[in-house]
Amino acid sequence: MRTHAYYEGEFEETGITLKQVKLEKEYYQYMLEHDIVMYENGNEPTVCNFLIYMFQNETMILFVIIAAFFLVDAICSDFDGNCYTLVYTQPHSRIRMMCAKVISILIMLTLSFVAAFVLFSPWLLFQHGFGYLDYPYIVGNEILSYGQFLGRIALLVIMTLLFFAAVCVIAANVFKNTTNTLLLIAALLIVQYLVNMFFKVHLWYGWLPIFYLEPFEIVMGNYPLSSFACMGICLAFIIVLWLLFIKVIKWLDLKGSETL
């Protein structure tokens, strides 16, 4: 906690606002009330921190790549193997089959994430401890506990992955080719990387879900929009893409077997 007693005139010189000082006071008071020892640095390799830092940009890109590969392969393999006429003439709607494929891939990603966490967390637990479930985080103008902070990150990760899954499904059904669909996903990731590197400060950056591959930074308030706004935008895009997907499937079905 700051030991110097600032007067009102000094705040303008230091750049510290009275609201920031009050927030810091609440932060340290929260830690004293819950008997929490402050981490020596923000990257203490505890189990709790390991779980949060798994949702970094590199991990999210890896999730998107894995989901894209499996989703595109699950859909385009029907066309590449010339078995689509047999598959899509069964007494099951194509929409239901696509939903089953998306759900199975998301379950596989979830199990992979859990397996990675279970594999590495025991070593961290014995070496550095579990951490604090109620450790406070200053997010914008509020103080969140570890559970609240992790919950926001997890929700944003799920929404972002559902958005990319919807893009993969629509692209795979339109292109009907594994290479072209993966090239489209790769192009989106390259655009995301370049914009993230050079134009991150612009407000329009936060209005497209392809730029939500840094959930930790978004929840911490380092993006133009808040985490709740990003979740709302993701949900809106998912709904629009879902309606578009239904239209595409119906259009393909009306075209007959030549455009299946």
DSSP sequence for 104-163: HHHHHHHHHHHHHHHHHHHHHHHHH----TT--EEETTEEE-HHHHHHHHHHHHHHHHHH
Which position has the token pair 């959930």?
Answer: 215
**By the 8 A CB rule, do 169 and 71 touch?**
yes
pLDDT of residue 138: 79
pLDDT of residue 81: 67
- At 150, the pLDDT band (50, 70, 90 cuts) reads confident
- At 76, the pLDDT band (50, 70, 90 cuts) reads confident
**By the 8 A CB rule, do 93 and 160 touch?**
no
**Is the pLDDT score of 218 beyond 50?**
yes
**Is the pLDDT score of 114 beyond 70?**
yes
> Which residues have a Cβ under 8 Å from the Cβ of 243 and sit 6 or more positions away?
none
Q: Is 106 left (phi over 0), alpha (psi -120 to 50) or beta?
A: alpha
**Is the pLDDT score of 86 beyond 70?**
no
Among 25-29, 89-93, 142-146, the minimum mean pLDDT is found in 89-93
CA 39 to chain centre: 26
DSSP run (H or E) holding 226: none
Say how many residues make up the chain: 260
**By the 8 A CB rule, do 63 and 161 touch?**
yes
Higher pLDDT, 106 or 93: 106
Count how many Cα atoms sit within 13 Å of the Cα of residue 44 in the half-sphere of its side chain: 17
Among 30-44, 126-140, 166-180, the minimum mean pLDDT is found in 30-44
pLDDT of residue 89: 65
What single letter denotes the amino acid at residue 127?
Q
pLDDT of residue 17: 67
Structure token digits, residue 144: 């969140």
**Phi and psi, residue 142, nearest 5°:** -135, 160
